[in-house]
Amino acid sequence: PWGVLYGQDDGGGMDPDALRCCMSFGFSDKQSDAFIGQYGNGFKTSTMRLGADVIVFTQNQKNWTPTRSIGLLSYTFLMETGCDDVLVPTVDYQYDLTTASYTQLLRHNQKLFSSNLAILSKWSPFASEAELLKQFDDIGEHGTKIIVFNLWFNDDGDMELDFNSDKKDILITGAQKKVKTNKHEKLVTQDYIANRLRYSLRAYASILYLRVPDSFRIILRGKDVEPHNVVNDLLYRECVLYKPQIAGLPELSIVTTIGFVKGAPDTDVQGFNVYHKNRLITPFWKVASNSYGKGRGVVGILDASFIKPTHDKQDFEKSVLHQRLENRLKEMTYEYWGLHCHRLGYDNKSLPKASRALYRAKQTGAGSSPASVPHQLLTADVPTSSCVQSSMRQKRNFDALGVISDINNHQTKHRDVIQRKRFHEYKTLTLENDKLRDECLQYEESEKQLVEKEQKLRYQIAKETKKYEELLEELKLLDVKLET
């Protein structure tokens, strides 16, 4: 009846101060570019978009003193009580070594603690302190549990999130519009992840991170979300280097992996998955118009950490750098298409006529269906029946055709040599690129660890400074008492 969405993180958990920062609007200590969240609104806006109310349970073991905290952000509570300010009732508990149990941690006084606890019991799905504390049983030594309840309904009176259609997924109600068709092209496109991620949480979560550490897991409705690397879906892959020009900063090199998606041209998908600090921002961003099929099936992946995402991380800020990136990706699409479209059966005008005819013959011999790609792009410059008046004439011109065949064979061999040379260069560059990427990841991880260490030390210094000032005040009071 509550309409509950449940989530849990087995990370380090939050101490009482960190929970209050998390649930207050506009607070963020992520001032470094090493972090993606710098606005202080992500948790609040995302949870309140799903439902009217959210309750957070977190357990932490910082400073060797285990704590438990519970916080409630409730739109229902605020509206029905007519609060002018946003109140976030929170209670804390601290582990007592003498009793080997958690006892109430009074940050101010017993009256405020009891008032907050009463609000939590009345406006959450848990009617007593015992029920609230029972939620920590499956968290472990540290971690956080988030429960969103009173989920929103759409205009038709149905819950916006669909939990019934797929027992291992959460879908957006009404967004999954499968067209009944016998056409292979439409069926393949409907089932591909570029379409499914728009209504399936499992599909979206599978490509949310570009690189997933071995220790990291996303579990959805009791089943692990398997990471889906779109790079593995690509045929005839190439790595393209892009160097954005940013004034006042050292030269950057962004590697874009580009290729034809498997199933192309039947799979009518194109665009770039653009990540920011390993997190997906724009999935299958269609930067190029595929008029007459140009660019159809071309997909790319890159991490563009040099441009800033919007506060909801669903797009990038429309800056000059963003516009330059869009233009370069469009050029990249057309350049790749011009070099490789013949591999899918398209007529590549940039190739010699003989080569185009040869590729057309290979496509026909392989049993590919010309109907699978636009007809106007499949027209190859090969001799037709109108050019050959009789078989007798073909015999008389046999020697001439033999010479042409030798020329074509020579061109084919020459092209094969060039292709082998390009493949060798590509392989060398790919290995070098992988090596540089691994080194870059190591540096990024080291930088992240150092930034986290710095923040912890700054926090510890601030805490000790506050404690020192409190002791100093106590000392002054003692001095005053001794004097009197």
Measured over the CA atoms of residue 150, residue 156, residue 160 and residue 165, the dihedral's sign is positive
- Structure-token pair, residue 220: 């959805």
According to the model, what pLDDT value does residue 63 have?
67
Residues ≥6 apart with Cβ < 8 Å to 182: none
pLDDT at 313 over 70: yes
**β-strands 254-261, 271-276 pairing:** unpaired
Q: Which domains does the chain have, with CATH numbers?
A: 5-152 (no CATH), 154-228 (no CATH), 234-342 (3.30.230.10)
Mean predicted lDDT score pLDDT of the chain: 79
* Contact between 337 and 298 (Cβ < 8 Å): yes
The tens digit of pLDDT for each residue in 49-79 reads: 889 999 999 998 876 788 999 999 999 999 9
In the structure, what pLDDT confidence band is assigned to residue 260 with cuts at 50, 70 and 90?
A: very high
pLDDT at 395 over 50: no
3-state SS class at 376: helix
Overall average pLDDT of the 251-256 stretch: 86
* Contact between 344 and 356 (Cβ < 8 Å): no
Overall average pLDDT of the 224-249 stretch: 89
* Contact between 272 and 285 (Cβ < 8 Å): yes
**Burial group, residue 156, by CB count within 10 angstroms (0-12, 13-18, 19+):** exposed
According to the model, what pLDDT value does residue 89 have?
92
According to the model, what pLDDT value does residue 455 have?
74
According to the model, what pLDDT value does residue 298 have?
94
Counting residues of the chain whose pLDDT is more than 90, the rounded percentage is 34
In the structure, what pLDDT confidence band is assigned to residue 187 with cuts at 50, 70 and 90?
A: confident
For residue 464, the number of C-alpha atoms closer than 13 Å in the C-beta half-sphere is 7
In the structure, what pLDDT confidence band is assigned to residue 291 with cuts at 50, 70 and 90?
A: low
CA separation for the pair 196, 202 (Å, rounded)? 9
pTM (predicted TM-score):
0.67
The tens digit of pLDDT for each residue in 411-454 reads: 555 666 666 666 667 667 777 777 787 777 778 777 777 877 88
Q: Which residue has the higher pLDDT, 480 or 397?
A: 480
Which of these, 60, 59, 53, lies nearest to 89 by C-alpha position? Answer: 53
**For the ranges 85-99, 128-142, 374-388, which has the lowest average pLDDT?**
374-388
3-state SS class at 84: coil
According to the model, what pLDDT value does residue 107 have?
85
Which stretches within 290-397 are classed as H helix? 320-340, 353-365, 391-396
**For the ranges 176-180, 229-233, 352-356, 362-366, which has the lowest average pLDDT?**
362-366
Overall average pLDDT of the 244-265 stretch: 85
According to the model, what pLDDT value does residue 388 have?
32
